[in-house]
Structure 1
Amino acid sequence: MAEVENRLEGQVTVYSVPGCPHCQHAKNTLKKLGLPVCDVNVNQHPDIRGRIKELTGRSTVPQIFFNGVHVGGNDDLQNLAPDELERLIHMVQSQPLPSDALPLPKEDDTDITAKEEGEFKCERDAFADIVEEFKSSGQIGTHWRGLKVYRNSFTGEQLLNWLVKEKGVDTEKAGEIAQGLKDRKHFNCIVGKGLESSTLLRLLEHEPCAALNTGQMAACSPIKASELSELLRNLILKLYSDHLSADGKTVDYKAMSRSPSFEHYCELAVQLQRVELLSLSREEKLAFFINIYNALVIHGNLRIGFPKNVWQRYRFFNYVSYMIGGEVFTLQDIENGVLRGNRKGVAQLLRPFSKSDPRLQVALPDAEPLIHFALNCGAKSCPPIKTYTPEGIDGQLRTAAEAFLENDDGCMVDTEKGEVKLSQIFKWYKADFGGTDETLLNWVLNHMGESPKKSSLQRILSAGNVKVGYIPYDWTNNGTE
Structure 2
Amino acid sequence: MEIKGRVVVFSIIGCSHCMKAKNNLQQLDVPYTDVNLDAFPRCRDYLKEKTGKYTVPQIFFNNIFIGGNDDLIRACTCKLYVVDLFSDLLGDFACEPNEYAILTQDLKSSGLIRDHHRGLSVYKRSFTGKEFVDWIVKNKQLDRECAVEMGQALIDQHFGADINKYQIIFKDDETIYRLLEDDQSTALNAGTVSQCEPRPVDAVGEQIRKLILSIYSAFLTDGGKKVDYQGISASSEFEKYKNLTKELIRVELESATHEEKLAFFINIYNALVIHANIVKGPPTNLWQRYKFFNTVSYLIGGHTYSLQDIENGILRRNKKGVGMLYKPFSKTDPRVKLTLEKPEPLVHFALVCGSKSCPPIKTYSAEDINIQLQMAAEAFLDGDNGLQISMDKKEIKLSMIFKWYREDFGQNVDELLRFLYEYMAKGEKKDQLTQLLTDKKYKVRYMSYDWSVNN
**TM-score normalized by structure 1?**
0.70
SS in 1 for 2:444: strand
1:372 aligns with 2:348: yes
1:203-256 deviation line (CA, Å, top 9, x unaligned): 112222111111112212211113322322332332243234799886442342
| Corresponding residue for residue 54 of structure 1 | none
Could you tell me how far 1:304 is from its partner in structure 2? Answer: 0.2
- Residue matched to 1:414: 390
Whether the 8 Å CA contact 1:233–1:295 is kept in 2: the answer is no
- Look up the match of 1:124: 97
Deviation at 1:139? Answer: 0.9
1:284 lines up with 2:257 in the alignment:
no
1:272, distance to aligned residue in structure 2 (A): 1.0
2:450 paired residue number? 474
Aligned to 2:317: 341
Deviations along 1:298-348, one digit per CA (max 9) or x if unpaired, are 111111011112221111111100111111110011111111122111122
Aligned-partner Cα distance in 2 for 1:353–1:245: 36
Residues in 1 aligned to 2:272 and 2:397: alpha-carbon distance in whole angstroms: 30
Aligned partners of 1:409, 1:251: CA distance in 2, in Å?
Answer: 17
3-state SS of paired residue (1:322): strand
1:395 equivalent in structure 2: 371
Q: Which of these residues, 185, 191, 203, is aligned with residue 227 of structure 1? A: 203
SS state at 2:331 partner: coil
Q: Distance in 1 between matches of 2:151 and 2:387?
A: 56
For the pair 1:238 / 2:211, whether they are aligned, the reply is: no
Mapping of residues 303-452 of structure 1, within 5 Å = 303-452=279-428
The correspondence for 2:116, drawn from 117, 128, 143, is: 143
Structure 1 residue identity aligned to 2:101: A
* Counterpart among 130, 136, 158 of residue 185 in structure 1: 158
Instruction: Provide the C-alpha distance between the structure 1 equivalents of 2:136 and 2:387, rounded to a whole number of angstroms.
Output: 63
Do the aligned partners of 2:200 and 2:251 also contact (CA within 8 Å) in 1?
Answer: yes
Q: CA deviation at 1:124?
A: 2.6
Please tell me the root mean square deviation across aligned C-alpha atoms, in Å.
2.4
SS in 2 for 1:198: coil
Deviations 1:364-414 (A, max 9, x none): 354321010010111122111222222222222112111111222211222
Aligned residues: 360
Task: Verify the 8 A CA contact 1:139 1:154 in the aligned structure 2.
Answer: yes
Deviation at 1:358, TM superposition (A): 2.0
Task: Supply the distance in 1 between the matched residues of 2:356 and 2:226 (Cα, whole angstroms).
Answer: 11
Change (3 A) 1:375 1:248: closer
Instruction: Give the secondary-structure state (helix, strand or coil) at the position aligned to 2:177.
Output: strand
CA displacement at 1:284 relative to structure 2: 2.0
Taking a change above 3 Å as real, the CA distance of residues 405 and 121 of structure 1, as seen in their structure-2 partners, is: farther
User: Shift of residue 175 of structure 1?
Assistant: 4.1
Deviation at residue 196 of structure 1 after TM alignment = 0.8
Per the alignment, residue 244 of structure 2 pairs with: 268
CA distance in 2, matches of 1:321, 1:206: 16
Segments of 4+ moved more than 6 angstroms: 245-249
Greater relative contact order (Cα < 8 A, sep 6+):
1
- What's the counterpart of residue 130 of structure 2? 157
Are the equivalent residues in 2 in contact too, given 1:398–1:447 (CA < 8 A)?
A: yes
1-side partners of 2:290 and 2:213: how far apart? Answer: 25
Shift of 1:150: 2.1
2:393 & 2:183 partners in 1: Cα distance?
57
- The answer to whether the aligner puts 1:195 opposite 2:171 as a matched pair is yes
Q: Quick one: percent identity of the two aligned structures?
A: 50
Deviation at 1:168, TM superposition (A): 5.1
Distance in 1 between residues matched to 2:385 and 2:228, nearest whole Å: 24
- Aligned CA distance change for structure 1 residues 121 and 459 (closer, same or farther; 3 Å): farther
Deviation at 1:162, TM superposition (A): 3.0
1:100 corresponding residue in structure 2: none
Q: Per the alignment, do residues 248 and 229 of structure 1 end up closer, same or farther by CA in structure 2, a change over 3 Å counting? A: closer
- Separation (CA, whole Å) in 1 of partners of 2:220 and 2:260: 30
Moved more, 172-181 or 455-464: 172-181
Look up the equivalent residue of 1:253 and give its one-letter code: Y
Give the partner amino acid of 1:392: D
The residue matched to 1:223 in structure 2 has which SS? coil
Secondary structure at 1:127 match in 2:
helix
Map of 1:18 onto structure 2? none
1:99-114 map, 5 Å: none
Whether the aligned pair in 2 keeps the contact of 1:336 and 1:343 (CA below 8 Å) is yes
Offset of 1:190 from its aligned partner?
3.3
1:259 corresponds to which of 225, 232, 235: 235
For residue 143 of structure 1, what is the amino acid of its counterpart? H
Q: Partner residue of 2:61?
A: none
**Structure 1: segments with no counterpart, 5+ residues:** 1-119
2: distance between equivalents of 1:236 and 1:289?
Answer: 13
Residues 84-108 of structure 1: CA distance to partner in whole angstroms, max 9, x if unpaired? xxxxxxxxxxxxxxxxxxxxxxxxx
Q: Deviations over 1:265-295 (max 9, x none)?
A: 1111111111222332322221121111111
**Is 278-287 or 338-347 further displaced after alignment?**
278-287
Q: CA deviation at 1:167?
A: 4.1
The separation in 2 between residues aligned to 1:473 and 1:367, in whole angstroms, is 24
Q: Aligned with 1:390: secondary structure?
A: coil
1:213 equivalent to 2:186? Answer no
Q: Deviation at 1:155?
A: 1.9
Task: Measure, in 2, the Cα distance between the counterparts of 1:441 and 1:200.
Answer: 52
